[in-house]
Amino acid sequence: MRLGFVINPIAGMGGRVGLKGTDGKVAEARARGAEPRSPDRARRALGAIADRVPDATILTWGAPMGADLAREAGFDPEVLGTPAGEETTAADTRAAVEGFVDAGVDLVCFVGGDGTAADVADALDGTETPMLGIPGGVKVYSSVFAVSPEDAADVIATFERTERREVMDIDEDAYREGAVNPELRAVAWVPVGENLQSSKQTGSGNVEAVAEGFADGVEAGVTYVLGPGSTLGAIKDALGFDGSPLGVDVWRDGEVLAWDATEAEILDTLGDRNVIVVSPIGGQGFIFGRGNPQLSPAVIRRCEVEVVASRAKLDDIGTLRVDTDDPELDADLRGWTKVRVGRFERRLLEIA
């Protein structure tokens, strides 16, 4: 494996001295006695990578952006460049990542926070080179980060595929005033692994992100059977129509085929490929059998099933449930499924 490894050496310095971030506050952080955090996080990650992927080829940037710590971990790194000045900048990070891409790395691994993640994603825009973050910043809202430096090594050693994930960031000045408003900065390819964190968003924004992501992904010729509930209401709004809040609506290619439909009306509108979209009932977890009897076994058997939900709802539920009045169908539906919880993100949850 050819692994690009870059460190933002000032990321996270403002956290322990009460600055809630380092953007524009490096001098003040140092004046308050802040110590760099990222180098130690990088040291831990590189040590774990040396244990888990000892034959990896490390490509990096000059000290303090990785070369010295890679050698310390026992690697003989390819050093592609050096920082432009005494203080490293976002431009240095982007230059390093662009160099990694030109050199044909399999993965870009970086140490920093959400701002660094946005810089890396910006440099990777237009490529399919995946990125993986080692959390070193104060605010780590994005879903491109491993849970810990050691977990990053596990992901690097075991991943077999990648998926699109969200890079979030917040305005640090507003954050210091108590306002937390995560914004989507980019979407990047990330290795798939169990030890990745989810992105953190506010509840309302999460539902909006689910709706926007679903609307972005609709396919021509597919019939969508949209269940009841507020989350589905947001999806219907995103598709451009006022849905029945407690009913089932059928939509295809920009046209509402049935509004507040019965089982028979749903069956009449189904085409060659059909997708039922449902959200679990809060506190119960049922996706079928509670509040949507129109979605009968006959309907379900002719459709694919997509589940959507806010993260908060899933945290309260833990498990999805079905009760379709058809035990054989219930058994077929049980197992693990991916639930859309963001514009691009999905969470694996069990239908019990």
Domain locations along the chain: 2-200, 204-351
Instruction: Please say if the pLDDT value at position 240 is more than 60.
Output: yes
In percent, the amount of the chain with pLDDT more than 90 equals 60
CATH 1.10.1060 holds for 204-351: no
Instruction: Please say if the pLDDT value at position 345 is more than 50.
Output: yes
Pairing mode, strands 274-278 and 304-308: parallel
pLDDT reported for residue 323: 83
Top-confidence residue, 170 or 91: 91
**Helix (H, G, I), strand (E, B), or coil: what is residue 7?**
strand
Top-confidence residue, 11 or 279: 279
CB 287 within 8 A of CB 252: no
Give every CB contact of residue 133 below 8 A, 6+ residues apart in sequence: 109, 110, 111, 112, 116, 117, 120, 140, 142, 144, 145, 146, 152
pLDDT reported for residue 290: 80
In tens, the pLDDT along 14-23 reads 544 344 455 5
User: Which amino acid, one-letter code, is at 150?
Assistant: E
pLDDT reported for residue 25: 57
CA-CA distance, 178 to 321, in Å (whole number)?
Answer: 38
Instruction: Please say if the pLDDT value at position 204 is more than 50.
Output: no
Instruction: Please say if the pLDDT value at position 205 is more than 60.
Output: no
CA-CA distance, 161 to 236, in Å (whole number)?
Answer: 32
- Mean per-residue pLDDT, 180-195: 83
pLDDT reported for residue 138: 60
pLDDT band of residue 111 (cuts 50, 70, 90) is very high
Which pair of structure tokens corresponds to residue 340?
Answer: 């859309």
Q: Lowest-pLDDT range, 13-27, 51-65, 66-80?
A: 13-27
Top-confidence residue, 332 or 194: 332
pLDDT reported for residue 31: 63
pLDDT reported for residue 16: 43
Which residues make beta-bridge pairs with 192? none
Q: Lowest-pLDDT range, 163-172, 220-229, 252-261, 339-348?
A: 163-172
Q: Do domains 2-200 and 204-351 have the same CATH topology?
A: yes
CA-CA distance, 220 to 254, in Å (whole number)?
Answer: 9
User: Which amino acid, one-letter code, is at 75?
Assistant: F
Pairing mode, strands 346-351 and 274-278: unpaired
Instruction: Please say if the pLDDT value at position 230 is more than 60.
Output: yes
pLDDT reported for residue 338: 92
Nearest in space to 196 (alpha carbons), one of 231, 165, 238, 223: 165
**Peptide bond just before 64 cis, omega within 30 deg:** yes
In terms of pTM, does the model score above 0.75? no
Which pair of structure tokens corresponds to residue 121?
Answer: 């994603």
In tens, the pLDDT along 114-164 reads 889 999 999 999 999 999 999 887 667 788 988 788 989 999 999 999 999
CA-CA distance, 74 to 67, in Å (whole number)?
Answer: 11
- Which class does domain 2-200 fall in? alpha beta
Average pLDDT value for the chain: 87
Chain-centroid distance of CA 15 in Å reads 24
pLDDT reported for residue 202: 42
Which pair of structure tokens corresponds to residue 112?
Answer: 């920093």
pLDDT reported for residue 15: 43
pLDDT reported for residue 110: 97
pLDDT band of residue 24 (cuts 50, 70, 90) is low
In percent, the amount of the chain with pLDDT more than 70 equals 86
DSSP per-residue string spanning 109-126? EEEE-HHHHHHHHHHHTT
- Mean per-residue pLDDT, 61-72: 97
pLDDT band of residue 171 (cuts 50, 70, 90) is low
pLDDT reported for residue 203: 43
pLDDT reported for residue 20: 44
